[in-house]
Chain A
Amino acid sequence: MTTEQSERELAGVGCQAPAEQAPPKIIVIDDDSAICLACRKILLKEGYQVQAYEDGLRGLEAITTWKPDLVVVDLKMPGIGGMEVLSRVHEFDPHIIIVVITGYATIDTAVQAMKCGAYDFLPKPFAPDPLRLIVRRGLEHRRLVIESRRHEMERELIKRRFVSFISHQLQSPLAAVHQYLEVLRHLEDSPETAAKRREWLERCLKRIAELEELIRDWLTLAKAEERVLVAQRYPIDLRPILQGILNSYEQMAAAEGIRLEARLPEQECLVWGNRHCLNVLFDNLIVNAIKYNRPGGRVSVSAQPLGDGQVAVAVSDTGVGIPEKYRRFLFEEFFRIPRQEGEAKPGTGLGLAICRKIVTEMGGSIEVESEVGVGTTFYVRLLAPPETAEGRRARLEQTA
Chain B
Amino acid sequence: MPPAKVLLIDDDRDFRTSLRAVLEARGYEVIEAESGKEGLKKIVEHHPSLIVVDIMMECCTEGYSVTQAIKFQRQYEAFRNIPIIMVSSIQESPDELFPMASEVDMIRPDTYLTKPVDIDKFVEVVERAVAA
Contacts and interface: CB of A to CB of B under 8 A. Distances in A.
B61 A1 contact: yes
B44 interface: no
B115 A175 contact: yes
A186 B14 CA distance: 16
Nearest to A2: B59
B69 interface: no
Nearest to B92: A164
A203 B35 contact: no
Contacts of A196: 21
Contact of B59 (A6, A164, A172, A177): A6
A188 B24 CA distance: 12
A338 B117 CA distance: 28
Q: How large is the interface on A (under 10, 10 to 19, 20 to 34, 35 or more residues)?
A: 20 to 34
Q: How large is the interface on B (under 10, 10 to 19, 20 to 34, 35 or more residues)?
A: 20 to 34
A5 interface: yes
B37 to A, nearest CB: 9
Contacts, number: 70
A172 B119 contact: no
B59 A200 contact: no
Contacts of B12: 172, 176
A171 interface: yes
B116 A172 contact: no
B101 interface: no
Contacts of B116: 175-176, 178-179, 182
A329 B12 CA distance: 24
A200 B19 CA distance: 12
A338 B58 CA distance: 8
B19 A179 contact: yes
B25 to A, nearest CB: 6
Given A1-B59, A172-B89, A180 B18 contact: yes
Contact of A183 (B18, B58, B59): B18
A255 interface: no
B56 A9 contact: no
A171 B91 CA distance: 10
B32 interface: no
A163 to B, nearest CB: 12
Contact of B34 (A183, A338, A341): A341
Contacts of A22: none
Given A172-B89, A178-B116, A179-B115, A186 B22 contact: yes
A2 B19 CA distance: 29
Contacts of A177: 14
Interface in A1-50: 1, 5-6, 9
B89 A168 contact: yes
B62 interface: yes
Most interface-central of B18, B56, B61, B90 (chain A CB within 10 A)? B18
A9 B60 contact: yes
Top 3 A-B pairs ranked by shortest CB distance? A6-B59, A178-B116, A176-B14
Interface of B: 12, 14-15, 17-19, 21-22, 25, 34-35, 38, 56, 58-62, 65, 89-90, 115-120
24 contacts: A6-B58, A168-B60, A168-B89, A171-B89, A172-B12, A172-B89, A172-B115, A175-B89, A176-B12, A176-B15, A179-B117, A180-B17, A183-B19, A183-B21, A186-B22, A186-B119, A186-B120, A187-B25, A200-B18, A203-B14, A207-B14, A338-B58, A341-B34, A341-B35
